[in-house]
């Protein structure tokens, strides 16, 4: 790639952009020249501090609530006025709790529903509300940050695994109907070095990594690199998933 800023004049929204994988994606996408909207939920200050570190462009922050479709409708209104289109949507925000799969008492019906609503309905609400702006791009891509839990059925709890399987399935369905203007891809990490799973520290990540073929802890930047590849290189791909797990699922 000769152009150092291949995403110049592009507009990107990253849900969960205030932390972990989303924040790494914000940095990479902004470095390539895009105007980036950093979606946050509780961490407004962290989102604003991240914005200050980005190369100059028309960046913004936006409070988003996965469980509230009106927050995405409000975002669509703001983006329409400010940019008039949306080229890149990264649905990175997500929610889980660490619950052993055999503990059906702790994973209540209510918590199961909360996890599905956040991890499946949230990205759906985002695509639904932002679809007219994505269509206006003419060459848009939606990247749903999924998980290998969606096909290994191994992960932080039973509902989380089910939610990521549903997200993968929805990615394929929407890819079928939203082309050719909009591509959809799932990026599916294994365990990543972020704060996502409470109580999982670096030594647990390192121990897990030793059992994988590549024997390396997956960093947020590794996942961001795959997200960028989906945007800039995988132009003929839609409705499928890119796995970033050091071979953990094998």
Ligand X SMILES: NC(=O)c1ccc[n+]([C@@H]2O[C@H](COP(=O)([O-])OP(=O)(O)OC[C@H]3O[C@@H](n4cnc5c(N)ncnc54)[C@H](OP(=O)(O)O)[C@@H]3O)[C@@H](O)[C@H]2O)c1
Q: Is 124 in the site for ligand X (CB under 6 A)?
A: no
CB of 145 to ligand X, least distance (A): 4
- What the block records as the tokens of 52 is 């200050």
Q: Is 191 in the site for ligand X (CB under 6 A)?
A: yes
Contacts of residue 31, defined as CB under 8 A and 6 or more positions apart, other chains included, come to 55
CB of 107 to ligand X, least distance (A): 16
Residue of the chain from 93, 120, 175, 184 that contacts ligand X (CB under 6 A): 93
Q: Is 123 in the site for ligand X (CB under 6 A)?
A: no
In DSSP notation, 187-239 reads EEESSBSSSSSTT--HHHHHHHHHTSTT--PBPHHHHHHHHHHHHHT-TT--S
CB of 1 to ligand X, least distance (A): 26
Residue of the chain from 7, 20, 170, 184 that contacts ligand X (CB under 6 A): 20
Contacts of residue 207, defined as CB under 8 A and 6 or more positions apart, other chains included, come to none
Stretch that binds ligand X, among 64-72, 78-86, 98-106, 124-132 (CB under 6 A): 64-72
Q: How many CA atoms lie within 13 A of 133 on its CB side?
A: 28
Q: Is 160 a catalytic residue?
A: yes
Q: How many CA atoms lie within 13 A of 49 on its CB side?
A: 7
Nearer to ligand X, 171 or 194 (CB): 194
Q: In the sheet that 11-15 helps form, which strands lie side by side, from edge to edge?
A: 60-63, 35-40, 11-15, 88-91, 140-145, 182-189, 240-244
Q: Is 157 in the site for ligand X (CB under 6 A)?
A: no
Q: Is 64 in the site for ligand X (CB under 6 A)?
A: yes
Nearer to ligand X, 14 or 141 (CB): 14
List residues near ligand X by CB under 6 A: 15-16, 18-22, 40-43, 64-67, 92-95, 118, 145, 147, 189, 191-192, 194-196
- Give the active site residues: 160
């Amino acid at each position: 790639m000769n152009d150092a800023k291949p995403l110049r004049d592009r507009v990107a929204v990253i849900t969960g952009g205030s932390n972990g994988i989303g924040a790494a994606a914000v940095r990479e996408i902004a470095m390539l020249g895009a105007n980036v909207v950093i979606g946050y939920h509780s961490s407004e200050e962290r989102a604003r501090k991240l914005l200050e570190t980005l190369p100059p462009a028309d960046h913004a922050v936006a409070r988003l609530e996965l469980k509230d479709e009106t927050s995405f409708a409000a975002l669509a209104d703001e983006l329409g006025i400010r940019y008039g289109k949306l080229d890149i949507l990264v649905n990175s925000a997500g929610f889980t709790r660490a619950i052993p799969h055999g503990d059906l008492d702790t994973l209540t019906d209510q918590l199961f529903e909360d996890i599905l609503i956040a991890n499946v309905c949230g990205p759906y609400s985002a695509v639904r509300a932002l679809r007219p702006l994505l269509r206006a791009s003419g060459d848009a891509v939606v990247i749903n940050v999924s998980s290998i839990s969606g096909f290994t059925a191994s992960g932080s709890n039973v509902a989380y695994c089910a939610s990521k399987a549903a997200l993968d399935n929805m990615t394929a369905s929407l890819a079928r109907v939203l082309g050719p203007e909009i591509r959809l891809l799932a990026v599916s990490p294994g365990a990543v070095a972020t704060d996502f799973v409470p109580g999982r520290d670096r030594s647990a990540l390192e121990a897990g990594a030793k059992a994988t073929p590549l024997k390396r802890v997956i960093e947020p930047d590794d996942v961001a690199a795959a997200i960028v590849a989906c945007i800039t290189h995988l132009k003929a791909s839609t409705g499928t998933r890119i796995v970033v797990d050091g071979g953990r699922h094998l």
